[in-house]
Structure 1
Amino acid sequence: MPCFLEEKTYKNVVLGGTFDKIHNGHKIFLSEAVLRCTEKLSIGVTDTNMLSAKLLWELIEPCSTRISNLRNFLEDIDSTITYNVVAINDMYGPTKYDSTFNMIVVSEETKRGGDKVNEMREKNNLSKLDIHVVKLISEENHKSYEENKISSKNKVLKPYIIGLTGGIASGKSSVAKKLQKLGAALVNCDKIAHDLYQPGKKCFDMIVETFGSCILKPDGFIDRKALGNIVFNDQTQLNKLNNIVWPVILEEAKKEINHFHTKGFDIIVMEAAVLIQAKWQHECHEIWTCIIPQEEAIRRVVERNGLTEVDAKLRIQAQPSNVEQINEANVVICSLWSHNVTEEQVEKAWNELMAFLTNQVKI
């Protein structure tokens, strides 16, 4: 008869990770730990300060959410075990001081982390942990960095307005063009704002009166670079400018939306870099936001706008952060990679919107 060897079990098992949006790999990893634990399973969940080095860390769920999801999943596997799920601020967590641990579970990628834990424990005069390595099978359809965030939508009223926003150099204009090709009309609030700065336009006199003739070029037009140097270095001055132009931009945008609707467009994109700061979210059915890591944004702004790295950083920091943008968004698109990858993200979100709108019509 064949002889089957039982897997060794341990009273106290420990493991750690990010555990964002629990997927099949996480489930295998956690289940392996539960199978080898008889009494207490401790799990360290990486807190926010440990995630900033990760690409698109802003898309990761809050630590409290990840902890709650882990508890629910583990209780469903085996409710007889005690689960200690805690936030950790370094790679060691409780392993650097808890003498009750017997074994640590790691993946092939993080085996070196298990060795480092034992090195730390040895320095602290604690017993080394047995290390169990879990070989994880990658999911065929999993795209590591592509993320779309879609929430429930309100009852549809026509025209259906997509508010498209994002920080400087985030790729929102490219996304807007893709949406136009898919059949949406486009209202460009940045272009509206640019036009309002022209002599004879609604905001021109108020801007010159507020900031002085020093912002004018010899030809009588507003020197946007000179104005930018004033407002992007002084929040009070920026607020003055925004209070002048934002209400007028929205007024003109609504006129364009109505115009496109009369032309037969039922889906209209309102592209606005300031959408969140100006609190125009409620003018839209849903918000799409474009993000890129800050380092890439700085690189693009320096290259595209000819600014110094310091000035580029100042302009970026004057905007809502990626986290703030994401918190307001129904759809998140990252333009960090190739044109084709961005296009795939846009088409996926568009197709989901079309399916939603079609179902609303049927209802």
Structure 2
Amino acid sequence: MFKIGLTGGIASGKSTVLTYFKDKGIPYIDADIVAREVVEPGTKGLEAVVDAFGTDVLRDDGTLNREALGAIVFHNAKKRQQLNGCLKDHIQNRIMELTAHYEELHTPVLLYDIPLLIEGEWYTMMDEVWLVYVNESTQIERLMSRNGLTEEEALARINSQMCLEDKWSYADVIIDNNGTPLNLREQLDNIWDERIESVL
């Protein structure tokens, strides 16, 4: 099974890239979805988060209040590391379960959308790493427009992640998403022809 790790910063356009390959029938594992699953009510993951951050991060119905948790971790690197530490094993175990499932199905290509692909050393189990790249000004513009953030809030979110330029050395493929949607589509068509079709 050919394993591709997709990475990029916040508002880089990873979702658009993922949708392209999803529409072509390529199965994928989305770490953000897994991260939501492991903190559902009654899970050990949610229990670990509450133990670390207190009941203020819970809604009245017992579900995780993501906004409250986000407000704590986005501006505090130590708290962010603490959160990642709480959930790392739960997320890792679930991703490995899903990988085994796709291997049993003899899936030829599997795409992983993992925000912490490099930082969490997931890249070591990939055959290739694909980086979706945009410059910082584009990230800020998209975050302000898409999420209604101020420039300061957008920068805080960007700075809470590993710098995109630092990820370049890990990447086998760099997808430049600073241009138009058509330009992105052309790059993805070329990647499909050159790297995917041959392994299907």
> TM-score normalised to the size of structure 1?
0.53
Which residue of 17, 20, 29 corresponds with 1:175?
Answer: 17
**Contact residue 171 and residue 290 of structure 1 kept, 8 A:** yes
After the TM superposition, list the runs of 4 or more consecutive aligned residues in structure 1 that deviate by more than 3 angstroms.
Answer: 354-358
Q: Which runs of structure 2 are paired with 1:36-55 in the superposition (5 Å)?
A: none
Residue 225 (structure 1) aligns with: 67
Q: Would you say 1:186 and 2:28 are equivalent positions?
A: yes
Partners of 1:354 and 1:205 lie apart in 2 by 40
Which amino acid in the other structure matches residue 143 of structure 2? Answer: V
| Deviation of 1:264 (Å) | 3.7
1:327 corresponding residue in structure 2: 169
Q: How does 1:1-363 map to 2 (within 5 A)?
A: 159-354=1-196, 357=199
User: Which structure is higher in strand share?
Assistant: 1
Aligned-partner Cα distance in 2 for 1:209–1:284: 33
Gaps of 5+ in 1: 1-158, 359-363
Q: Which has the larger radius of gyration?
A: 1
SS in 1 for 2:33: helix
Question: 2:3, 2:56 → 1: CA distance?
Answer: 39
Between Structure 1 and Structure 2, the one with more helix by share is: 2
Which secondary structure state, in structure 2, belongs to the residue aligned with residue 204 of structure 1? helix
| Alpha-carbon separation, structure 2, partners of 1:354 and 1:258 | 21
Q: CA deviation at 1:177?
A: 1.4
Q: CA deviation at 1:354?
A: 3.6
Q: Using the alignment, how far apart are the partners of 1:180 and 1:256 within structure 2? A: 16
**How much has 1:350 moved relative to structure 2?**
2.3
Q: SS where residue 179 of structure 1 aligns?
A: helix
Is the contact between residue 184 and residue 265 of structure 1 (CA under 8 Å) also seen in structure 2?
A: no
TM-score w.r.t. length of structure 2: 0.93
- For residue 130 of structure 2, give the secondary structure of its aligned residue in structure 1: strand
User: CA-to-partner distance for each residue in 1:1-32, whole Å, 9 max, x for gaps?
Assistant: xxxxxxxxxxxxxxxxxxxxxxxxxxxxxxxx
Q: Among the aligned pairs, what percent are the same residue?
A: 30
Paired position in structure 2 for 1:21:
none
**Residue 190 of structure 1 aligns to which amino acid in structure 2?**
D
Give the aligned length. Answer: 200
Q: Name which structure has the greater RCO, CA cutoff 8 Å, separation 6+.
A: 2
Q: What SS does structure 1 have at the residue aligned with 2:44?
A: coil
Q: Is the 8 A contact 1:290 1:335 kept in 2?
A: yes
Counterpart CA distance in 2 for 1:335 and 1:203 is 34
1:285 Cα deviation from its structure 2 partner = 0.7
Structure 2 CA distance for aligned equivalents of residues 247 and 205 of structure 1 = 13
Per-residue CA deviation, residues 106-158 of structure 1 (Å, 9 max, x unaligned), is: xxxxxxxxxxxxxxxxxxxxxxxxxxxxxxxxxxxxxxxxxxxxxxxxxxxxx
Deviation at 1:217, TM superposition (A): 1.8
SS in 2 for 1:237: helix
Matched to 1:298, the amino acid is: I
Check 1:355–1:196 CA distance in 2 against 1; reply closer, same or farther (3 A cut).
closer
Q: Aligned Cα RMSD in Å?
A: 1.7
Tell me, in whole angstroms, the C-alpha distance in 1 between the residues paired with 2:43 and 2:186.
40
- Larger deviation, residues 206-215 vs 174-183: 174-183
The amino acid of 1:204's aligned partner reads L
Aligned mates of 2:149, 2:58 — CA distance in 1? 20
Report the CA distance between 1:284 and its aligned residue. 0.7
Instruction: Confirm or deny: 8 A CA contact 2:109 2:199 kept in the other structure.
Output: no
